Amino acid sequence: MTLVLHSLGVLLGLLSLASGGFYLVAGLLTLRFFSKSRPQPLDPAPAISVLVPVCGLDAGAWQNWSSLCQQDYPNYEVIFGVQDLSDPALPVLKDLCQTFPERARWYFCDEIRGINRKMSNLSQMLPHAHHEVIVLADSDVRVTPGYLRQITAPLADPRIGVVTCGYVDHSPKRLGAAFLAMGRCIDFIPSVLIARFLDGGLRFAIGPTVVLRREVLETIGGLEIALNRIGDDYRLGYTAWEAGYRVELSTYVLDNDCSDESLLKAVERELRWCRTIRSNRGKQYFGMVFTFGTVYSALLWGLLPSVWTLTLCLAVQGIRWLQAIVSMILMGTPRLLLWLWLLPLRDVMSLVIWLLGCFGNRIYWRGRWLQVHRHGQLQEIIKNSQGE
């Protein structure tokens, strides 16, 4: 028993040290990335088509969509697409298009072209886009007037084929929203920066905003390459990287209102993300085992209480809290600091969700159960009349 306890203590100690190093590197890379000077906006500014697939009425939908229509940008259009004429979002979209007639319009995407309904809509919206630069934007994000100028600025480098950016709820009001916001701010975006550092550049994009030149989209096979995949953003970015283009991460951080998310829905969403990451990134997913140091160090001190284990625990916890605070400040989410008390629960739940993500390939997405296979390939689970 003593030998088992000692071996477990050694394992937890090594995991704690590795995780402490992860927190430290994540904090330093976050500081370096968000402290760098922003690229100058393109001059002349290219015309842009913003494509927004819509399914349902998200919290603050009018504010989200109208923010896209009020950009400090000379020449752009915003195209919305819905798949169901009974969608509760449609009356709001019609009012929006009447309010901004020179800027916005909507289309009925009456075909189902693949299992990924978002990409099905986008593929039907794309032929209506008039401009060379295409921005794929999620419907649940809110942007500032300088959004388009900032996210297209990296395209000044002709080697860059795709631009993407992170997202977080800047002012979470409920537990579920704070849970998601904290994970994105202190774990997800810093992990993207670490992947960018290790790979010598990004090899994927992030869903809420993907910017592509039309010629790049045509080169990689169009939106059709992701019609039957989960992680369509990952696939678009990865395929562009394979084709020889660079994928750039913008310093712009989108505001994603998660007010409607309960804690249960937030956990369900993150489990879907974990299984998506595992299917797309393969063995690299299991490297996340080295990112849960606050849990490991606390367990180590609880199992083997001593001055040394307490010192290690306090050191790892301190680095983690500092990394979290730095991330929140640099990403412009100071109100998230009010939820710092949630950090221990957030870290415990992150470990649980990651462990669940190591197994199984079923996900629940937009009212449907789907199976995820290698490289994000999707298969719909058809239930019989008995629900089996």
Boundaries of domain holding 318 = 2-33+283-380
Q: From 216, 235, 270, give the residue that closes a domain.
A: 270
Phi, psi dihedrals of residue 322, rounded to the nearest 5°: -65, -45
Grouping H, G, I as helix, E, B as strand and the rest as coil, residue 373 is: coil
For β-strands 368-372 and 362-365, DSSP reports them as: antiparallel
Let me know whether 213 and 73 are in one domain. yes
Placement of tokens 């367990």 in the chain: 299
In-domain check, residue 385: no
Contact 128, 52 (CB under 8 A): no
CA distance 44 to 40: 11
Instruction: Give residue-wise pLDDT tens across range 126-151.
Output: 999 999 999 999 999 999 999 999 99
Let me know whether 169 and 293 are in one domain. no
H or E, element range at 370:
strand 368-372
Query: Which pLDDT belongs to residue 38?
Result: 84
pTM as predicted:
0.92
Which CATH number belongs to the domain containing residue 266 in this structure? 3.90.550.10
Dihedral sign for Cα 342, 346, 349, 353, please. Answer: positive
In-domain check, residue 107: yes
Rounded to whole angstroms, the maximal C-alpha distance in the chain is: 74
Let me know whether 47 and 119 are in one domain. yes
Q: From 270, 299, 319, give the residue that closes a domain.
A: 270
In-domain check, residue 357: yes
Query: Which pLDDT belongs to residue 375?
Result: 84
| pLDDT tens by residue, the chain, 388 residues | 687 788 898 899 999 999 999 999 999 999 999 998 888 888 899 999 999 999 988 878 999 999 999 999 999 999 999 999 999 999 999 999 999 999 999 999 999 999 999 999 999 999 999 999 999 999 999 999 999 999 999 999 999 999 999 999 998 989 999 999 999 999 999 999 999 999 999 999 998 899 999 999 999 999 999 999 988 999 999 999 999 999 999 999 999 888 778 889 899 999 999 999 999 988 889 999 999 999 999 999 999 999 999 999 999 999 999 999 999 999 999 999 999 999 999 999 999 999 999 999 998 887 788 999 888 899 888 754 444 4
Helices (H), 140-284: 147-152, 175-183, 189-199, 214-219, 232-242, 263-281
Query: Number of folded domains in the chain?
Result: 2
In-domain check, residue 130: yes
Let me know whether 8 and 78 are in one domain. no
Cα–Cα distance list, 173 to 116, 257, 339 (Å): 30, 9, 10
CA distance 304 to 217: 56
| Burial of residue 384 (number of CB atoms within 10 Å: 0-12, 13-18, 19+) | exposed
Tokens of 130: 């008039």
Let me know whether 97 and 179 are in one domain. yes
Grouping H, G, I as helix, E, B as strand and the rest as coil, residue 149 is: helix
Tokens of 136: 């794929």
Let me know whether 96 and 154 are in one domain. yes
H or E, element range at 65:
helix 61-68
CA distance 63 to 236: 28
CA distance 27 to 322: 8
CA distance 358 to 355: 5
Let me know whether 97 and 71 are in one domain. yes
Let me know whether 116 and 250 are in one domain. yes
Q: From 248, 270, 292, give the residue that closes a domain.
A: 270
In-domain check, residue 388: no
Contact 50, 77 (CB under 8 A): yes
Instruction: Residue 187: count other Cβ atoms within 10 Å of its Cβ.
Output: 21
Let me know whether 257 and 167 are in one domain. yes
Let me know whether 215 and 85 are in one domain. yes
In-domain check, residue 374: yes
Tokens of 25: 């590197």
Let me know whether 25 and 104 are in one domain. no
CA distance 282 to 285: 6
Let me know whether 70 and 178 are in one domain. yes
In-domain check, residue 242: yes
In-domain check, residue 99: yes
Phi, psi dihedrals of residue 48, rounded to the nearest 5°: -125, 140
What Rg, from alpha-carbon coordinates, does the chain have?
22
